Amino acid sequence: MTNLPANGRESCFVESFPIQGGDFHHAGHVSTQIKEILKELGIEPAVVRRAAIAAYEAEMNVVMYARHGTFILEVTPGEVNFWVEDEGEGIPDIELAMQEGYSTATPEMREMGFGAGMGLPNIKKNADRFEITSEVGKGTLLRITIFLNQKKVR
């Protein structure tokens, strides 16, 4: 949490959410809550939409491949940051994982509509800044930033 760009500053809002790996039933709740917070803060609809998609993909990544994880949301007047850290199997080849269509999803996950290999690329597409670090056998850390237009909502 200490590496969050603006952590501790007066002007930022931070909230942390736990994610349980393998809990498909509650999957998506964290991104729904995050979306509600962003709307409450008056963030532009188009930005909320991109953030919601990126948050959902990041959350699902933890649900599908990790034991548990933490999703930290940080909002500053200039940007939205997600810090998604998990304890899990990790990603051996990040470059490969970032390719569209590449997936290690199980048949069960595919049955549920996941595993099209679009998760990480989809995050990248919707984020303004996206960093991924991973250690095999330990876990993965995603750092996602979306810039806020200073345009007023209404």
Partner 1 sequence: MNQYYHSIRFDQERCEGRMRCLRVCPTQAIRVRKGKARMIEERCIDCGECINVCPNGAIIPLTDPFGELSRFRYTIAVPSPALYAQFGREILPAKILAGLKKLGFDEAVDLANTCGEVSFAIQEFLRNYNGARPLISNACPTVVRLIQVKYPDLIDHIIPIDTPREIAAREIKRKKSKQLEIPEKDIGTFYITPCPVKMISIKQPAEKGRSHLDGALSIADVYGPLLSAMESLEETEPERRALESICILGIGWAVVGGMSRTLRLRNSIAVSALAELIKVFDDIEKGKIRNIDFIEAYSCTHGCVGGSLTVENTYSSYNKIIKLIETLEYEKIKACPDIRDVRRRYEQKYYFIEGQLEPRPLAPLDEDIGKAIQKKKQKEAIYEKLPQIDCGACGSPSCQAFAEDLIQGEVELADCVFLWPQKITALAKEIIELVEKTGCRRGQAEISSAKNKKEEEA
Binding site for partner 1 (CB under 8 A): 11-13, 15, 28, 31-32, 35, 37, 39-43, 45-46, 48-49, 52-53, 55-57, 75-77, 113, 122, 148, 152-154
Nearer to partner 1, 89 or 105 (CB): 105
Q: Across the strands, what pairs with 103?
A: none
State in angstroms the smallest separation of the CB of 62 from partner 1: 14
State in angstroms the smallest separation of the CB of 32 from partner 1: 5
Look-up of token digits 């964290």: 30
State in angstroms the smallest separation of the CB of 45 from partner 1: 4
Element (H, E) at 52: helix 45-65
Nearer to partner 1, 2 or 11 (CB): 11
Identity (one letter) of the amino acid at 67?
R
Nearer to partner 1, 112 or 136 (CB): 112
- Distance between alpha carbon 91 and the CA centroid of its chain, in Å? 16
Which among 90, 54, 46, 87 is positioned nearest to 73, based on CA atoms? 54
Which among 27, 54, 47 is positioned nearest to 121, based on CA atoms? 54
